[in-house]
Structure 1
């Protein structure tokens, strides 16, 4: 199950030869994650809340995805954005994250998400476009209730929403190093600092963690170890969405019974492929599996076990 409380309508203008080209899609982190998990063969249920004219269009477009959609209609409007990519780079024309979800909206959505999460092997908790749209305590409650009943929870969140799922003892959290810096969980982007921040995520409640680092190897915290995640070098077409593909692929592998090492390697392969494409949360399963064979995990040596210089060099 993918919990995507506030999906958005995405409108992008591109240029094909000399003709402008308009693309209209349902979007938001949870939608992109659901799409990637489905590409990797998972049976996905997407739980969303939509509202207003924009939400009606989002709901219609979601029906075109190869996932089961459980939607709650609400009076207030869903979010949207309009981007212009005709010059190559993405330029935002206008955007609105949507109205905050109210109590009745959240009650209905929570009930549906809880039931679907209990039916699922793995639940993915995704965030809204703006943290003010959904209160963090919704994530704490959902993570706590699912985990207490034996469900596995994968979360790709930051800020107060990340803190909430840590209190809920999420099975696996994925966070970028930029988010750790922004949230004050890491003072610098130095590897040793990020390692310390990742270990803090575990102490705060996560069962395992993955810290992505843009062009540097991600750091995986699994089974008491810290490992660098090396991916094959690829040309970047669009960096957005790589992290969402990573967390979705991790959840997909876990839902199929794979272990954490396989899940992280598959997540790294899916994220690496995503940056070569315009579409977010897109790719082909065969290409991901081909890249998977080229993803390598490198254990970090604990500081007290690193080889020390001897002889003259030691002086």
Structure 2
């Protein structure tokens, strides 16, 4: 798994007793949240990412404590960090330190690390950067292209130029949110027809499967042959953050197991739906998620025959 911007997360919480305060420290960022959920679902996760400075030292140690096999690329700069206050019931950001931009030697080291590790994997999960300036978009296109040539399946959760580059290189599964499609000017708004149009642009560019998360609305599962809605039972949201990352993890684990894309969508939707009922981002229990996946329905929105469709679309 590629996690290009691990972030140290510090959260202030109310304690169990009146007037108590608790401080929680965790490894975070998109890649770490995806990795954590993938491990919860039974995957053996190898995490490739840049680690530097005081924050990087703490991050690598905490990630290994969560049973992730870390392949750290040393950097001169520091990893990012944020401090959130949740004592009032909602997350209030008190401070954020952005991660350092990687220099060309660090970019090369990261590329070689993730490429070699992915060659031994059932699936390579590729997550994005925040801010986008940490890595050039071409990095993601090169990586997807090289892995595709080697016959390695890829699942990416990307936005902006990184998503476009990965699409052109033929990523197997690309997960994007409805807002990311609009921000990338692939859709003019978040209406169903526009999101379908935006997803089909990515399919035409070379993506095999596009999964569009839509917050509380059913996700869209788009292939060359079909457009489907992925509908999960309604649940009460405790924290919506991390739902999309959990969805990506579920899809990737299912792809690694060799399941069909509809089953992958169900597992991803179940992981995302149950994660919003929890306070821990990217957390959950495998048995609960797999049972909940049985309650996820995948409905055809558009079922046109396409002789060029991939046999694994079903």
Task: Please classify the TM superposition score into its range, dividing by the shorter chain length.
Answer: over 0.9
1:250 and 2:247 correspond: no
Unaligned runs of 5+ in 2: 305-314
CA distance in 1, matches of 2:191, 2:114: 38
Aligned-partner SS, 1:63: helix
1:59 and 2:52 correspond: no
Residues 234 and 276 in structure 1, CA contact (< 8 A), matched pair in contact too: yes
2:99 alignment partner in structure 1? 98
1:6 alignment partner in structure 2? 5
CA distance in 2, matches of 1:288, 1:66: 19
1:87 alignment partner in structure 2? 88
RMSD over aligned Cα atoms: 1.2
Aligned-partner SS, 1:70: strand
After TM superposition, give the deviation of residue 287 of structure 1 in Å: 1.2
1:69 and 2:70 correspond: yes
After TM superposition, give the deviation of residue 135 of structure 1 in Å: 1.2
Residues 46 and 68 in structure 2, CA contact (< 8 A), matched pair in contact too: yes
Aligned-partner SS, 1:24: strand
1:200 alignment partner in structure 2? 201
Aligned-partner SS, 2:119: helix
CA distance in 1, matches of 2:164, 2:302: 28
1:240 alignment partner in structure 2? 241
Residues 240 and 280 in structure 1, CA contact (< 8 A), matched pair in contact too: yes
Aligned-partner SS, 1:282: coil
Residues 221 and 227 in structure 1, CA contact (< 8 A), matched pair in contact too: yes
2:24 alignment partner in structure 1? 23
Unaligned runs of 5+ in 1: 304-315
- How many residue pairs get aligned? The number is 302
Misfit runs of 4+, over 2 Å: none
After TM superposition, give the deviation of residue 222 of structure 1 in Å: 3.2
After TM superposition, give the deviation of residue 223 of structure 1 in Å: 5.7
After TM superposition, give the deviation of residue 301 of structure 1 in Å: 3.6
In the superposition, relative to structure 1, how do residues 199 and 232 fare at CA in structure 2: closer, same or farther (>3 Å)? same
Aligned-partner SS, 1:299: strand
CA distance in 2, matches of 1:7, 1:139: 17
